[in-house]
Amino acid sequence: FTGSIRLNVKGTNHFKNLNDVEKENFIEQMRIDIAKSIPVDGQRITYLNSKEVFVDFVKLLEVNDFMTALDFYNSTQFIDKKFGFEPTSNRWEEIKTIVQSYFDPITIGLIISLAFLLINLYFFGRYKNRMGCNTIVFKAALIILDIVNDISFIVTNEEYLQNIVFIICPILINTCLAFYIFIFETRKNPKFSDWFRENSKLAAIITLFSSGNIELLHLLDSNYAGYKLFSAPFSSKAIRWIFWGGFSNIFIEDLPQLIIQIIYVVSPNTGYNIFALSALITGSVILLIDVIGFIYDFIAKKQSIYINKVSRVE
């Protein structure tokens, strides 16, 4: 938490009569005296990065007509209690505090372990089947992380609870589309129907997670590690639906949620937390990957059409 306090008239006149060095000493002494008044470790007053410290300090300022610990120190007696404490937004400092607070050795070790696991899964899939789309493990992990972050962001920031529509609507649309694709494929695609009978449990699990992003269905036809489990024979029509479903996700999910998170990060007087930071990072990465991916797909399809036309002419 960051904010500003104001000196009363007597304190303002006293401060004006100080030279530059004395002003710096006065401010430093006030920091120490505020820490003693709360009381709290003086190092925590550099940034009010604890909600408990912030609340205790505000309570001292709210008691205008009574003596408080602030009145017993030469510097803090000049604080204007009527003005109180005005929270201000210093996002960069808050982000640095979040990183320092949450990214301890245990958390860093966990992140490194998960990254190591994903890399191993990728190389294992590549070793077993070079022709498979083994990079799907990274996209699947990112999609699942994005779902968790988006929900955590809404739950931990009640003032943005009304924006849950940008989570619920995409989930409903993606879920309905996933069910429709499976129903269509089992009825119209005999090869897929045979695969589905053998792997219905996996299909159910992937359907659940594809509610966050329909493109997760590509895990089923990725041919990861050459396993039949991940060799679903989707028809060309189903692949087109997945493609356009993923494309629409940019506008109904990724972009609106990223805009909300950007509005939140630039909004004054709102505390920032690890969930908001994580949601902003994953949302930005997924949007960037999706946009670049669809551009490449569009170029590849155009190139394929051109090659087919040239082949027919020859």
Mean pLDDT on 253-282? 79
The answer, yes or no, to whether residue 177 has pLDDT greater than 90, is yes
The answer, yes or no, to whether residue 4 has pLDDT greater than 80, is no
Pairwise pLDDT comparison (295 vs 184), residue with the higher score: 184
pLDDT tens-digit series, residues 72-118: 556 556 555 555 555 555 666 667 766 766 677 888 888 899 999 99
Residues whose CB is less than 8 angstroms from the CB of residue 19 and which lie 6 or more positions away in sequence, other chains included: none
pLDDT at 312: 55
pTM for the whole structure: 0.67
pLDDT at 257: 86
∠ CA 279-280-286, nearest 5°, is 85
β-pairing verdict for 2-4 and 86-88? antiparallel
Q: Are 179 and 215 in contact (CB under 8 A)?
A: no
How many residues appear in the chain? 314
pLDDT at 51: 43
pLDDT tens-digit series, residues 185-230: 999 999 999 999 999 998 999 988 898 889 999 999 999 999 988 9
119 vs 65, 114, 125, 134, CA distance in Å?
63, 9, 10, 10
pLDDT tens-digit series, residues 192-203: 999 999 999 989
Q: Are 39 and 119 in contact (CB under 8 A)?
A: no
User: Domain residue spans in the chain?
Assistant: 2-88, 93-313
In the chain, the DSSP E strands lie at: 2-4, 86-88
Q: Are 34 and 119 in contact (CB under 8 A)?
A: no
